[in-house]
Homo-oligomer: A and B are copies of this chain.
Amino acid sequence: MQSPGEFEIIDRYFRDIGHRADVLLGVGDDAAVLEVPPGECLVATVDTLIEDVHFPSGLAAADVGWRSLAVNLSDLAAMGARPAWTTLSLSLPRADTGWLAGFAAGFAQLAETWGVALVGGDTVRGPLVVTVQAMGLVEREQWLTRSGARPGHLVVVSGTLGDAAAGLAAWRGGAGASQCERTLVERFTRPAPRIELGRRLRTCASAAMDVSDGLVADLEKLCAASACAADIDVGSLPLSEALRTVHPVDRRELYALTGGDDYELVFTIAEESFAALCAQQGLPVACTPIGRVRRGRGVVCRRHGEAISLPVAGYDHFGAGAAG
- Interface residues of chain A, those whose CB is within 8 Å of chain B, are 3-7, 9, 24-25, 28-36, 38, 41-48, 50, 53-54, 75-76, 78-79, 81, 85, 87-89, 91-92, 94-95, 119-127, 129, 131, 133-136, 138, 143, 145-147, 208-210, 225, 316-319, 322-324
Asked if B48 and A122 sit within 8 Å, CB to CB, the answer is yes
Interface centre among A45, A121, A210, A318 (most CB of B within 10 A): A318
Nearest-neighbour CB distance to chain B for A39, whole angstroms, equals: 9
Closest to A147 in B: B29
In the bound complex, residues from chain B placing their C-beta under 8 Å from that of A146 are 28-30
A25 and B145 contact, Cβ closer than 8 Å, known pairs A31-B75, A33-B41, A41-B35: yes
In the bound complex, residues from chain B placing their C-beta under 8 Å from that of A41 are 24, 33-36
Partner of A42, one of B35, B89, B124: B35
Docked pose: A76 CA to B120 CA in angstroms: 13
Asked if A318 and B123 sit within 8 Å, CB to CB, the answer is yes
Nearest-neighbour CB distance to chain B for A2, whole angstroms, equals: 9
Nearest-neighbour CB distance to chain B for A267, whole angstroms, equals: 11
Docked pose: A126 CA to B45 CA in angstroms: 20
Nearest-neighbour CB distance to chain B for A33, whole angstroms, equals: 5
Nearest-neighbour CB distance to chain B for A314, whole angstroms, equals: 10
In the bound complex, residues from chain B placing their C-beta under 8 Å from that of A94 are 318
**Given A29-B146, A30-B209, A48-B89; 15 other pairs, CB 8 A cutoff:** A28-B146, A31-B45, A31-B78, A34-B42, A38-B38, A46-B120, A46-B122, A46-B133, A48-B122, A87-B133, A95-B318, A124-B317, A125-B322, A127-B127, A129-B131
Asked if A316 and B6 sit within 8 Å, CB to CB, the answer is yes
Asked if A135 and B44 sit within 8 Å, CB to CB, the answer is yes
Asked if A125 and B3 sit within 8 Å, CB to CB, the answer is no
Asked if B143 and A25 sit within 8 Å, CB to CB, the answer is yes
In the bound complex, residues from chain B placing their C-beta under 8 Å from that of A131 are 46, 48, 89, 129, 131
In the bound complex, residues from chain B placing their C-beta under 8 Å from that of A322 are 125
Partner of A33, one of B42, B95, B124, B323: B42
Docked pose: A87 CA to B50 CA in angstroms: 18
In the bound complex, residues from chain B placing their C-beta under 8 Å from that of A95 are 318
Docked pose: A282 CA to B318 CA in angstroms: 48
Nearest-neighbour CB distance to chain B for A82, whole angstroms, equals: 12
